[in-house]
Chains A and B, each alone.
Chain A
Amino acid sequence: MAESGAHSVLRFENVTVSFDGEEVLRSVSFEAFEGESRVILGAAGSGKTVLLKTALGLIRPDSGRVLVFGQDLSKMREAQLFDIRSRIGMLFQESALFDSLNIAENVAYPLLNQKAIRCPKSEVRGRVEQALDFVELGGTLEKFPAELSGGMRRRAAIARAVVTGPPLVLYDSPSAGLDPITAHTIMALLIKERDMAKTTTILVTYRYQDGNLMANFRYNSKQGRLEPARHWDGPLPRTTFMVLREGRLVFEGDQDRMESTADDYISRFCKRRE
């Protein structure tokens, strides 16, 4: 269902991934277009994280093709993958900040190490500060990850994921293990990043309300907070929901279709709509 004029950003073609003979992703196919938001729901162990890591080329599929920005990852060597990865931001589930580096060094890491970015050294500090201000963590530059709370670490990791201004951002369970208020703050940051930088967003989560926020809220840059999208008459990013079950893609469609589904497994996710 290609949209007119929109470029394909991420495309899975019958992707199968297995570990030790067990299939973790089974023939998954979908295509995400520029500017789109994708919410991937699934229980623990359904292959959500593996899907994101496959999209980054961190895991190679046993069969099928993964295309990012139209380029086939499966034929690339690790060195070539670095170029593609420099255009993808990734938030890992447990933040994955480097323990041995402070927050400023963590956020500067992609600017200094992604060969394709070529950020002049003199600009690094400014961009790091800008990214940390974006996630409202301005005062923590010299702190180490262990000194921050879970929510702050998650925010620092978001800053690290988006500091290079990637057109595609992948979020692995950004609200997992956080209290509802912090989880909401993190989701607000994700929507802010999506709406201000116009990024294509792939969000993996087990909480339906995260997807609901993605689909129905937008960031109002004038007031600096989220507002229901129905109050907005401009163009809205399209949000597509996907449901994974034991490595299979069992649903793909918009929120209305998802909520009207008769399937027991899928509807279990949407019962918690706020």
Chain B
Amino acid sequence: MLDLLKEPVLAVQEFVVLAGRAFRNIFRKPHYLDDVILQMDTIGVGSLVVVVLVGLFSGIVMALQMARALAQYGEVEKTGTLVAITLARELGPVLTAIMMAGRNSSGIASELGSMKVTEQIDAMRALGTDPIQKLVTPRLEATCFMLPLLTVIADFVGLFGGWVISVVKLHLTSRLYWNSAWQALEWNDVAQGLIKPLVFAVVVSLIGCFYGLRTTGGTQGVGRSTTQAMVAATIMIFITDVMITEFFVSQGVS
């Protein structure tokens, strides 16, 4: 029984150590700005299309579903409110982060995993660079910067999708839709909508790096790490989402 527990406990310990070193390196020299910008491009700009699509369709679906539910109470004009709140609080951050986990946690894990099995990580250490400083910290910084931005984009595109449905299918006026959406949002929603992606960014990038750097067993191992990273990141996104939501709800201001 103890043996069964040993491995996960050790893995958590390793992860915490990695996370600690990655964060500490943010404030330490040398800073690899080139790598940060490169990662912002790959992680952020590269994910733009998929994030826009996910945002758009979730907005559309929310409008369609909510309009039906609201119609029972004769409150169809509140569609904007519901779309805005669900997107800003939950769907925007969570769906964007899940897309990032699928695209970037796995991407990071496979890239670092290939480097690990071809001894490039060892070579990096042999040639005077700390792999955490050179590989992990730039990915952490880039994701923490890009994921909140992408989430905001997804939120707006989602609101736009909801607007299209409201006007075309539900025959609401644009003014009504945008007014109800705008008024629904409080500071608390905005805070929640921005803190979540920041935490998810840490999850997405560090889990990807963690599984990548502990890859063993050749190309097969790289495949395994890639899958594990994606699954673990997705699960952790949901767990941290529950925790943050519970925090905001228990504050009584949600």
Stretch of B74-82, B90-98, B115-123 with 4 or more beta carbons under 8 angstroms from chain A: B115-123
| A96:B122 contact, CB within 8 angstroms | yes
Return chain A residues, CB-CB under 8 Å to B65: none
From B115, B120, B128, name the one whose CB has the most chain A CB atoms within 10 angstroms: B128
* Interface check A56, CB cutoff 8 A: yes
Given contacts A96-B118, A96-B120, A99-B120, contact A58 B127 (CB under 8 A): no
Interface set, chain A 109-126, CB cutoff 8 A to B: 109-110, 113-117
Q: How large is the interface on B (under 10, 10 to 19, 20 to 34, 35 or more residues)?
A: 10 to 19
Interface set, chain B 120-161, CB cutoff 8 A to A: 120, 122-130
Q: How far is the CB of B69 from chain A (nearest CB, A)?
A: 50
| A113:B128 contact, CB within 8 angstroms | yes
8 A-B interface contacts by CB (under 8 A): A78-B130, A85-B127, A93-B119, A94-B118, A96-B120, A97-B123, A115-B128, A160-B127
Return chain A residues, CB-CB under 8 Å to B124: 98
Name A53's contact: one of B115, B118, B122, B130 (CB within 8 Å).
Answer: B122
* Interface check A90, CB cutoff 8 A: yes
Given contacts A96-B119, A96-B120, A99-B120, contact A110 B125 (CB under 8 A): no
Return chain B residues, CB-CB under 8 Å to A117: 128
Return chain A residues, CB-CB under 8 Å to B118: 94, 96, 99
| A56:B119 contact, CB within 8 angstroms | no
* A79 closest partner in B (C-beta): B130
Q: A53-B122, A109-B127 are in contact. List 11 more A-B contacts (CB 8 A).
A: A58-B122, A85-B125, A86-B128, A92-B119, A93-B119, A96-B119, A96-B122, A98-B124, A113-B129, A116-B128, A117-B128
Give Cα A94 to B130, complex, Å: 21
Give Cα A35 to B128, complex, Å: 24
Name A96's contact: one of B123, B128, B129, B130 (CB within 8 Å).
Answer: B123
Ranked 3 nearest A-B pairs via Cβ: A114-B128, A96-B123, A96-B119
Q: How far is the CB of B162 from chain A (nearest CB, A)?
A: 41
Q: How far is the CB of A271 from chain B (nearest CB, A)?
A: 31
Name A82's contact: one of B115, B120, B122, B128 (CB within 8 Å).
Answer: B128
Name A98's contact: one of B123, B126, B128 (CB within 8 Å).
Answer: B123
Give Cα A56 to B129, complex, Å: 14
Q: How far is the CB of B219 from chain A (nearest CB, A)?
A: 12
Q: How far is the CB of B214 from chain A (nearest CB, A)?
A: 13
Give Cα A93 to B123, complex, Å: 11
Return chain A residues, CB-CB under 8 Å to B114: 99
Interface set, chain A 195-246, CB cutoff 8 A to B: none
Return chain B residues, CB-CB under 8 Å to A97: 120, 123
* A94 closest partner in B (C-beta): B118
From B115, B118, B124, B126, name the one whose CB has the most chain A CB atoms within 10 angstroms: B126
From A96, A114, A160, name the one whose CB has the most chain B CB atoms within 10 angstroms: A96
Convert A44-61 into 0s and 1s, putting 1 for each residue whose CB lies closer than 8 angstroms to a CB of B.
000000000100101000
Give Cα A93 to B118, complex, Å: 9
| B122:A92 contact, CB within 8 angstroms | yes
* B121 closest partner in A (C-beta): A96
